[in-house]
Each structure stands twice: as structure tokens, then as C-alpha cells.
Amino acid sequence: MSMVKERRISIKTQEELEVMRRAGRMTAEVLRLLQTEAKPGVATRKLDEIAEEWIRSEGGEPAFKGYYGYPASICASVNEEVVHGIPGFRVLKEGDIVGIDVGVKLDGFCADAARTLAVGVIEAESRRLMEVTQEALAEGIRRAVEGNRLQDISWAVQSCVEGHGFSVVREYVGHGIGRELHEEPQVPNFGKPHTGPLLVAGMTLAIEPMVNMGTFQVEVLSDGWTVVTKDRRRSSHFEETVIVGTKEAEVITR
Ligand code: MF3
Ligand code: CO
């Protein structure tokens, strides 16, 4: 027994992974549900209500609510908002992009995922920003296999994003996940290949590139949570929870 917080990267048992898969499926379900609700005229707090109600009705708990005092069950980050947008009275309008981030805790284990959604018809550059973010996430996920090192993931994400002329946020990162929403290790979206801890099958990671149209620099609004781009240009965020495998990663939030 120890008072010190666990610093190792935990390897989950098959039983634990089964619980995480169920939490992951629920997280994906919530995101699918919100995708159909995120239409022009809807306030982001409505999306939060729908998510919380659905998660609890399925016997889960919103993993974000109360986490370091966070007041809601989802994050809803519109346009220049990068992550951690608190749902509220902001009404979605045609042409917006909104990052929806959800965490579900089920039978003691968490899953965490995010998608950026188009509200109605959006401009081509926003569409490209979202596509590149998804592509970068896919490149990262491809590296989440035993024998690679953690920053192989980071480097894959960064080189994809920068190769398309966008920038990756440095101050916020992905993370290990399991009994806790945030576990070791941190999973940066930038880095050097062949560095960092060795990946082992059964590790569970939340990989989550935050990609900006302009500068990678961000700041936090006075609400203490909402992260926005310094230049107020748009940002996109996609996240999946994955199980590191021997041949390939298993995405459990799809
Ligand atoms: N996916 C985000 C993260 O891993 C969402 C966390 S919001 C918080 O940081 F409120 F729970 F912190
Ligand atoms: Co996360």
C-alpha cells in the first residue's frame, strides 16, 4: 500500500479490457447521439443534458463531471475553442465546427473520445482541418503497437499535421486511461521517433490530437477551463481510446 499516486503505466487484464470495451462502446454511442443533435439553433448545454441523461440511463457515470471540479458531462468547444469548452448558452450556428468530448465511467473503468462536428454546411478550410486531424489520429493509432516507443505515436501525429500546413497544440496532451480518466503516460502530439517508454500489449491510451489552422499557441479563458487559440483561428480535436496490441491497436470508442 502506498500514499503515492501510481506512476507506472498499467497493463490491463483481459477482464479489465472487457469492461473498458463496454465503456468505449457507450462513449461512441453518446457521440453518435450528439452528432444527430448538433444542429444550427441548439445550445451546447442541451447536448450536455442529452449526454448525461443517456449515460446514467445505461448505468454509467459521466467521467468528466466533477473531475478537478469540471461542471459538466461533456466538453463542447466551438470554432476557436480548442478543448474543455464548458457547455452553456452558446447556440450553434450554420458553418460552426464543434468539438464534442465525452468520458464514460462504467464498473470502475473509463473511456474517453472526441469528434469535431460540422454544424450545417461549413467552409472548405474547416473541412480540411477536420480531415487532417482525423488522418493524424489514424497515423498515431497505427503506431500504438507493442515494440514501438510512445513518441512514435507523437511523431506520427505531428508530421501528418505539419505536412498539411497546420499546427499541433503543445500544452495539452493525450494520456493513459483506465480506472482513472488520466493515467500515465502523457501522450504528446509532437515528439521524436524511437523515444519514450516502450509500448506493451494491454496498455490503454487516449490519443487526442488538437490541431490549429494558425498558431499552435493557446490560452485559457477567464472561466478557468475553455482553451482557445491565441490567434482565434479555428481548431479541431479528435480522440479515441485504444488498446495497444501486438500487431495492431484496437480502437474501443468507435
Ligand atoms: N478528453 C479530455 C481530457 O482528457 C477531457 C477532460 S475534461 C475534464 O483532458 F473536465 F474532465 F477535465
Ligand atoms: Co482525453
Q: Give the mean model confidence (pLDDT) for residues 73-90.
A: 98
Please check the confidence at residue 236 and state whether its pLDDT lies above 80: yes
Pocket test for ligand 1, best of 77, 81, 82, 84 (most atoms within 8 A of CB): 84
User: Distance from the CA of 240 to the center of ligand 2, in angstroms?
Assistant: 8
User: Distance from the CA of 58 to the center of ligand 2, in angstroms?
Assistant: 21
Looking at the CA of 83, which ligand is closest? Answer: 1
Domain 14-251 has CATH 3.90.230.10: yes
Pocket test for ligand 1, best of 27, 31, 48, 67 (most atoms within 8 A of CB): 67
pLDDT band at 29 (very low <50, low <70, confident <90, very high): very high
pLDDT band at 202 (very low <50, low <70, confident <90, very high): very high
Ion ligand 2, residues whose Cβ is below 5 A away: 112, 206
Ligand 1 pocket, 109 CB below 6 A?
A: no
- pTM of the predicted model over 0.95: yes
- What does the pLDDT read at residue 132? 99
C-beta pairs of 9-13 under 8 Å, 24+ apart in sequence? 9/176, 9/183, 9/184, 9/185, 9/197, 9/200, 9/203, 10/176, 10/178, 10/183, 10/184, 10/203, 10/204, 11/200, 11/201, 11/202, 11/203, 12/178, 12/202, 12/203, 12/204, 12/243, 13/202
User: Distance from the CA of 106 to the center of ligand 1, in angstroms?
Assistant: 16
Ligand 1 pocket, 45 CB below 6 A?
A: no
User: Distance from the CA of 197 to the center of ligand 1, in angstroms?
Assistant: 23
| Domain positions in the chain | 14-251
- What does the pLDDT read at residue 127? 98
pLDDT in tens, 139-153: 999 999 999 999 999
Ligand 1 pocket, 105 CB below 6 A?
A: no
pLDDT band at 7 (very low <50, low <70, confident <90, very high): confident
Pocket test for ligand 1, best of 75, 115, 205, 238 (most atoms within 8 A of CB): 75
- What does the pLDDT read at residue 5? 60
User: Across the strands, what pairs with 211?
Assistant: 168, 236
Residue ranges of E strands in 130-207: 167-168, 174-176, 183-187, 204-207
Pocket test for ligand 1, best of 70, 235, 239 (most atoms within 8 A of CB): 70
Ligand 1 pocket, 186 CB below 6 A?
A: no
